[in-house]
Structures are given as structure tokens and as C-alpha cells.
Amino acid sequence: MADLPRTGTPAPAAPGRLRKAWDSDIVWSFRHAPVAVVSLVVVTLMVLAAVFAPLIAPYDPFDPGTLNLMNGFTPPMEPNAFTGDTFWLGTDDQGRDVFSTILFGLRISLFVGFMAVALAMVLGITLGLLAGYLGGWVDTIIMRVADVQLTFPAILVAMLIFGVAKGITPPELRNEVAIWVLILAIGLSDWVQFARVVRGATLVEKSRDYVAAARLIGRGSGAIMLRHILPNVLSPVLVIATISLALAIIAEATLSFLGIGAPPTQPSLGTLIRIGQGFLFSGEWWILLFPAATLLALALAVNLLGDWLRDALNPRLR
């Protein structure tokens, strides 16, 4: 570098990595999208609340031994008529503190959401890469399976998987594995989108020169797919993953709302909404309203983030 001619003005101090990141296109567009900023704040807060739920929550709603049935149906911020206890957001029909239950329910919702999307992503990317890169009968089989699965609504597929998995688990393990079964059910019902997008992008990338070059120097198919093609098809995957996260959270809530998701003694947001809707006519609105509002805020924020990400990563919209 020393013998390069210097320009008149001294170069500014080499920008640090943070600075570079701050000035990058994507962050710039983020900084200028207030909706995205707010969404990210909401999602971050909820993730933090879920992660630290055992520290924040005043009660442990999953420990039935600590529940006092007489606390049931306490309105928000009002002392219970029998026990005199007061709860921020009131209690449900079993005397569970709604605020604590929402925090713990968020844990289930987010955990199931993230894990299910991760599963769908791994599965979808792998199959999509294989189908796109190898082509031929591999492509045909994978894509026909995907087509068949697409003809069923995802929630139906999830219910089917859930039912089968529940049938084959021994009863004493059911409550422990219920969450994993949910993840499996939602993840398996959602891989098709990833596979389709990745396959499409792979078909395009496969004919590029860099792939031909890699092939010429004798790299194996696996290495080409993983090291060369995959990084170039990731941005659409990222967008789908975000939107899938919102869908997975809603799918979990739907399954639990239908009474086939999380066990009744470990309520997730969907379970709480199911319980709460039974008490709408009788005026106990808080059991439904607060969990529903939380679910709405979470799903909306994740969706808006996904929308922004899609716009930001789309070169045509720049």
C-alpha cells in the first residue's frame, strides 16, 4: 500500500465493521422504515419476555400445585372476592394469573414457531437444492410430493401428523412430547414453500458461469450446492422464513385453539384464547382479550418485518 500515490486529502479513518454495517443498504433502508423499527422492537421485547418469563412472571402457571381455584375469574387490577389477591391482568377459570400465563404461553408459541420454521427450512432447502441441482427423476419426485401436499391446507396436514404422532407416543410421555409433536407437525406442513423457492433459484444459479467453473475444477455436487449455490439463494429464503414464522405461530395457536395442541395444563396463547372465548357472554373479557392482543401484536410485527425484508432485499424495488 505504501507506494500507492496518495491523494491530497487524508483518507478518513478506516470505518469500523459496525460503521460499515450501519451504512449498508439494508440497515439504511431499515433505519428509514419506522414500521420495521417498531416491529423489531415489539418482536425483540416479546422474545426477551418469553426467554426471561420465569424471572419476570409473578406466578408459575404451569405448576398446578401453586394454583388456588378460588382465585378464578378475578378481574384485572381488582382484588378477588374470596382471597383478596390482586392480579394485573386478572385470572382465568382455574385461578391462573393471565399475565404470567401469557408470558409462559409466549414461550411455547415462539419456541414452537422458531423450531418449526427451522425444521421446515432445513427440510425445504435440502430438498429444493437437490431437486433444482440434480433435476431429472429426483426433481420430479420431490416436486410431485410437494404438489400433493400443497393441495391440502397446511393446518389439515399438521392435524394429521399431530394425530398420528399422538397415537404412537406412549400415554405417559404424551404431555412431555406434545410440544415436539407440534413442532414436527407444523414444520412438516410448511417445508414446501422453501423447497419451491430454493428449487427455482437453484435452477437459475445452476446455469451461471461460476457454477460451471466450480464444476470444471472438479468440485463435487454436494460442495457446489452448499458452498456456491446456497449462499446465493438465501435472501428469498430469509423472507419466507420470516413470514413462515408468523404463520407457524398462528398455526400453533390454531391447533391449541382447537384443543389438540399444547396440553391443557400448559396453556399456550391459543389455549388461552379457547378458554377465554367460553366466557365472552358472561363478561369475563380479560381471559380472551389479553392473550388475543398479544398473539395479534406478535403475528403482526413478525409479518411486517417480513414484508419490509422482502422489499429491502428485492433489487427491483430499490
Partner 1 sequence: MTRTTGLLTATLLATTAMAPFAQAETLRWARAGDSLTLDPHAQNEGPTHTIAHQIYEPLLIRDMTGAFEPALATDWAPSPDDPNVWVFNLREGVTFHDGAAFDASDVVFSIERAQTEDSDMKELLTSIVEVRAPDPLTVEFVTDGPNPILPSNLTNLFIIDEDWARANDAVEVQDYEGGEETFAARNANGTGPYVLNSREPDVRTVMTRFEEYWGMDQFPLDVTEIVYTPIQNAATRVAALLSGEVDIIQDMPVQDLGRVAGTDGLDVRTAPQNRTIFFGMNMGAADIETDSVEGANPFADARVRQAMNMAINRDAIKQVVMRGQSQPAGMIAPPFVNGWTAELDATSTDVAAAKALMEEAGYGDGFSVQLDCPNDRYINDEGICQAVVGMMAQIGVTVNLEAMPKAQFFPLISNRTTNFYMLGWGVPTYDSEYIFNFLVHSAEGDRGSWNATGYSNPELDAMIQSLASETDLDARNDTIAAIWEVVQAETIYLPIHHQVLNWGVASNVAIEVDPEDQPKIKYIALN
Least separation, in Å, of the C-beta of 65 and partner 1? 3
Instruction: Output the smallest distance, CB 111 to partner 1, in A.
Output: 19
Q: Which is nearer to partner 1, 198 or 262 (CB)?
A: 262
Q: Is residue 175 near partner 1 by the rule CB under 8 A?
A: yes
280: CB partners within 8 A, 6+ apart: 288
Tell me the site size for partner 1, rule CB under 8 A. 35
Q: What backbone torsions phi and psi does residue 105 show, to the nearest 5 degrees?
A: -65, -40
Residue 265 touching partner 1 (CB under 8 A): yes
Pick the binder of partner 1 from 9, 16, 281, 318 (CB under 8 A): 281
CA-CA distance, 189 to 92, in Å (whole number)? 32
Tell me, residue by residue from 35 to 74, as one string, x for binding to partner 1 by CB under 8 A and - for no binding. Answer: ----------------------------xxx-x-xx-xx-
Burial 294-312 (b: 16+ CB within 10 A, else e): bbeebbebbbbbbbbbbeb
Q: Does 293 engage in binding with partner 1 (CB under 8 A)?
A: no
Please state, in angstroms and rounded to a whole number, the distance separating the CA atoms of residues 93 and 101.
12
Given a contact cutoff of 8 angstroms between Cβ atoms, the answer to whether 303 and 229 are in contact is no
- By CB under 8 A, residue 27 contacts partner 1: no
Which amino acid is residue 124, in one-letter code? Answer: G
- Does residue 265 contact residue 62 with C-beta atoms inside 8 Å? yes
Specify the stretch interacting with partner 1 by CB under 8 A; choose among 21-29, 35-43, 88-96, 235-243. Answer: 88-96
Alpha-helical segments (H) within 207-285: 209-216, 221-223, 230-257, 269-277
Instruction: State the nearest-atom distance from the C-beta of 88 to partner 1, in Å.
Output: 20
C-alpha cell at 312: 429491502
Rounded Cα–Cα distance for residues 180 and 229 (Å): 31
Contact 41, 297 (CB under 8 A): no
Per-residue interface string for the shown chain with partner 1, residues 67-86, x marking contact by CB under 8 A: x-xx-xx--------x----
| Residue 284 binds partner 1, judged by CB under 8 A | yes
Q: 63 in helix, strand or coil?
A: coil
Chosen residue from 19, 20, 31, 174 binding partner 1 by CB under 8 A: 174
Binding residue for partner 1, selected from 26, 278, 300, 314, defined by CB under 8 A? 278
Q: With binding defined as CB under 8 A, does residue 254 bind partner 1?
A: yes
Residue 2, all three cell numbers: 505504501
Does position 180 interact with partner 1 (CB under 8 A)? The reply is no
- In the complex, least distance from residue 243 CB atom to partner 1, rounded to whole angstroms: 14
The residues of the shown chain that bind partner 1, judged by CB under 8 A, are 63-65, 67, 69-70, 72-73, 82, 93-95, 171-172, 174-175, 250, 253-254, 257-259, 263-265, 273, 277-282, 284, 292, 299
